Amino acid sequence: MTDKESKQADDHELGMDRKIDRRDFLNGLAVSALALTTAPAFGADGAPQDLPTYYPPVLNGMRGDNPGSFEVAHALRDGRFWATAKHFEDLNHVYDLVISGAGISGLSAAYFYRQAVPDARILILDNHDDFGGHARRNEFHLRHHLELLNGGTMLIDSPRPYSRVASTLLDELGIKPTALAKACDRPGIYRELKLGGSTFFDAETFGQDKLVPGQGMSWANGGKHVSWSDFLQQAPLSDVVKQDILRIETGTEDYMPGLTSDEKKDRLSRISYRDFLLDIVKANPGVIPFYQARTHGEWGVGIDAEPALDCWAMGLPGFQGLHLKPGAIHRMGNTAAGYEATGGSAKFHFPDGNASIARLLVRALIPAAMPGHTVEDVVTAKAVYDELDRATQAVRIRLSSTVVGARNIGHPDSSQGVEIAYSRMGEVYRVRAKSCILASWNMMIPYICPELPEKQKEALHQLVKVPLVYVSVGLRNWHAFDRLGISGIYSPGSYYSSTFLNMPVDIGSYKSVRSPDEPILIQMVRTPCKPGLPERDQHRAGRYELLATSLETFERNVRNQLGRMLKDGGFNPAEDIMAITVNRWAHGYAYEYNPLFDNFNTPYDQLPNVVGRKRFGRITIANSDSGAAAYTDSAIDQAHRAVQELVTLERL
């Protein structure tokens, strides 16, 4: 067989030629990604979202930063946009507030502004074809059963307590996380079936494909107890590596004798976990591939770029004998001072993650767009997208609209308003507003607002976002997981470094799967980092990789990896996969300062996010980026700050 024939044969076995839901498909009406952005007028107001059939949560294929959402922004960044912009139409529409970004921060900003100015008219613009930003809903109908998964933001948690502002907002939306946690059945069925964590050792990294249950990632931790020595006995690792992993996991030696807890913590904050294992624990370098991806999901980089102290706080092993005093560790600019211990929950999550928070905010802003009244019924509510942008409403959300310019009218110190330009379906439009909040990605702001002071633009450029991919895969059944006794897989050498069965959560009329015979969603996570480079460079390189990777490659890797990992459970990738949605977040988590690469002695008021978010005339800046914290509470807090800045100014 030629290489081509052999690839075709492999692809056939993997099921690449099977007809599944992987192309963009909109309520029975096939709409190519391009059509969503370049189609001529075909809704009431001339945009796809004005069609009654428009319902992006069910779209499969390449989602997250979907094709059509980023091309305009990249042209603006590269200086190509204005040279080729076709048409500039002044809509002569005047709003009280225009917000760039319909993520949690932009939606919260609209909510807070309406509290301060109840009759305010607000326009929210977002470059994606759905609202919510990272808080994105993936909705599947597998054998006619509604299955939900988070395409991005999942948990209402944070390393610090939710502020009074953020917890009050949740409360006003009806979200009482503690009460909801009691009501939902989590992890339920997986514990009953005794499914636990596992690790997949791949042949390319470890010499042999082998799935070893007992240790690794899982939601349920309800699997059979397997000791580290029993687990390691089955692992394809050399004896010396096994001994060192056992020492790291269960040893009680103090590797830093003679230092106080504070001195140890200080040193651990300045070295990577990789260097801690190699230089302080003196482990054999062969342990590194086993631990390398343990920090991928949390921080988007491997253990080479993550401070050992953060890894201790996250519960990684090796620190047992160091007797470090418990206590929060704070990343720059994120001290807990002034925060109340309220709100948030690491236990409760909505079946579509924090997309439900975005949907509740939309209900509060435009009730007709989100039927229902309770925090439970929002989960199954079908959003009415053609209500989002009606002239009769005080708040309008306009999707597939990239903000390309925001300019104070007059000098920023005496500005009486802002002109905002946005691009939609190949046209450029201009609107005016009393004020503007850029609740969108901060490093893009210098291109939108080139009049900003140079120092502020430089600071904004430093907030390099963290790329990552969450793939939602619909499976016909989950017998293979059940047979292997696993609910999650840690796969440190593979393309996707973790795989989970959808975590059960029952709320309102939404019921999670009850039996391995039923279809289920799983989530596979890829973090495209480049070990060895400084953190920001890893993120930049990862972003280029994601944008250059085709849907076909993501899919082939899903099929190949699931087939290899679940082989002994009888999994057949050609038969068992029903649907694939790739949530590609080239611009994912907000950048959080890292003592390995950032100067921790920088005074608070000189931190890039603090310098970068300074109000400029009637334009101000929100988004979790401006809090340098990749969490929902940060997105809400920064929205509140931005609104207060404007309201104070407007009242002068």
Ligand X SMILES: Cc1cc2nc3c(=O)[nH]c(=O)nc-3n(C[C@H](O)[C@H](O)[C@H](O)COP(=O)(O)OP(=O)(O)OC[C@H]3O[C@@H](n4cnc5c(N)ncnc54)[C@H](O)[C@@H]3O)c2cc1C
Q: Which two tokens stand for residue 226?
A: 């397997």
Question: Shortest Cβ distance from residue 622 to ligand X (Å)?
Answer: 7
Nearer to ligand X by C-beta: 529 or 630?
630
The smaller minimum CB distance to ligand X, of residues 47 and 468, is found at 468
Residues forming contacts to ligand X in the complex (CB under 6 A) are 73, 100-106, 125-128, 133-135, 152-155, 158, 354, 402-403, 439-441, 444, 448, 468, 470, 585, 588-589, 623-624, 630-632, 635
Q: Could you tell me if 353 and 150 are in contact, meaning their C-beta atoms sit under 8 angstroms apart?
A: yes
Closest separation between CB of residue 229 and ligand X, Å?
A: 34
DSSP 277: I
Distances from the Cα of 108 to the Cαs of 169, 170, 358, in angstroms? 8, 10, 9
* Residue nearer to ligand X on the CB measure, 63 or 294: 63
| Closest to ligand X by CB, 135 or 237 | 135
Distance CA 564, CA 508 (A): 37
| Residue 99 C-beta: closest distance to ligand X, Å | 9
Q: Which of 534, 547, 548 is nearest to 591 (CA)?
A: 534
Nearer to ligand X, 477 or 499 (CB): 499
Distance CA 446, CA 426 (A): 22
Nearest to ligand X of 206, 339 (CB atom): 339
Selection from 475, 467, 498 nearest residue 561 by Cα: 498
Q: Quote the least distance from Cβ 72 to ligand X, whole Å.
A: 8
> What is the Cα–Cα distance from 101 to 125, expressed in whole angstroms?
6
Cβ 214 to ligand X, closest distance in Å?
Answer: 26
Label the pairing between strands 427-438 and 619-621: parallel
How far apart CA 320 and CA 312 sit, in angstroms, is 9
Minimal distance, residue 619 CB to ligand X, in Å: 13
| Least distance CB 231 / ligand X (angstroms) | 28
Nearest distance in Å: CB 492, ligand X: 19
> Is the Cβ of residue 446 or residue 485 nearer to ligand X in the bound state?
446
Question: Cβ closer to ligand X: 128 or 434?
Answer: 128
Least CB distance to ligand X at residue 353 (A): 7
Buried b (16+ CB within 10 A) or exposed e, 183-197: ebebbbbbbebebbb
Q: Which is nearer to ligand X, 101 or 485 (CB)?
A: 101
Q: Which residues are CB-neighbours of 421 under 8 A, at least 6 positions away?
A: 88, 403, 404, 405, 406, 428, 429, 430
Which residue lies nearer to ligand X by CB, 13 or 157?
A: 157
Judged by beta carbon, residue 381 or residue 436, the one nearer ligand X is 436
How many alpha carbons lie under 13 Å from residue 118 in its C-beta half-sphere?
0
Half-sphere exposure of residue 69: CA atoms within 13 angstroms, side-chain side: 23
Please name the amino acid found at residue 29.
L
Q: Distance between CA atoms of 268 and 308, rounded to whole angstroms?
A: 5
Question: For ligand X, which is the closer residue by CB, 366 or 403?
Answer: 403
Provide, rounded to whole angstroms, the least separation between the CB of residue 624 and ligand X. Answer: 4
Burial (CB count within 10 angstroms: exposed 0-12, middle 13-18, buried 19+), residue 119? exposed
Shortest spacing between CB 570 and ligand X, in angstroms: 31
Per the document, the length of the chain is 652
**DSSP secondary structure letter of residue 590:** P
Q: Name the residue nearer to ligand X (CB basis): 264 or 587.
A: 587
- Please, what is the minimum distance in Å from the beta carbon of residue 410 to ligand X? 23
Contact call for residues 345 and 180 (beta carbons, < 8 A): yes
DSSP per-residue codes, 279-344: IIS---GGGHHHHTTTTHHHHSS-TTSSBHHHHHHHT-SS-GGG-PPP-----TT---TT--SBS-
Shortest Cβ 135–ligand X spacing (Å): 5
Q: Taken in order 265, 270, 272, 275, is the CA torsion positive or negative? A: negative
Minimal distance, residue 150 CB to ligand X, in Å: 7
Q: How far is CA 74 from the centre of its chain?
A: 21
The amino acid occupying position 284 is N
Q: CA-to-CA distance for 473 and 558, rounded, in angstroms?
A: 8
Using the minimum distance from each CB to ligand X, give the nearer residue, 16 or 503.
503
- Specify the residue, 180 or 277, whose C-beta has the smaller distance to ligand X: 180
- Supply the DSSP string of 416-448, one letter for each residue: --EEEEEEETTEEEEEEEEEEEE-S-GGGHHHH
End-to-end, the C-alpha distance of the chain in Å comes to 78
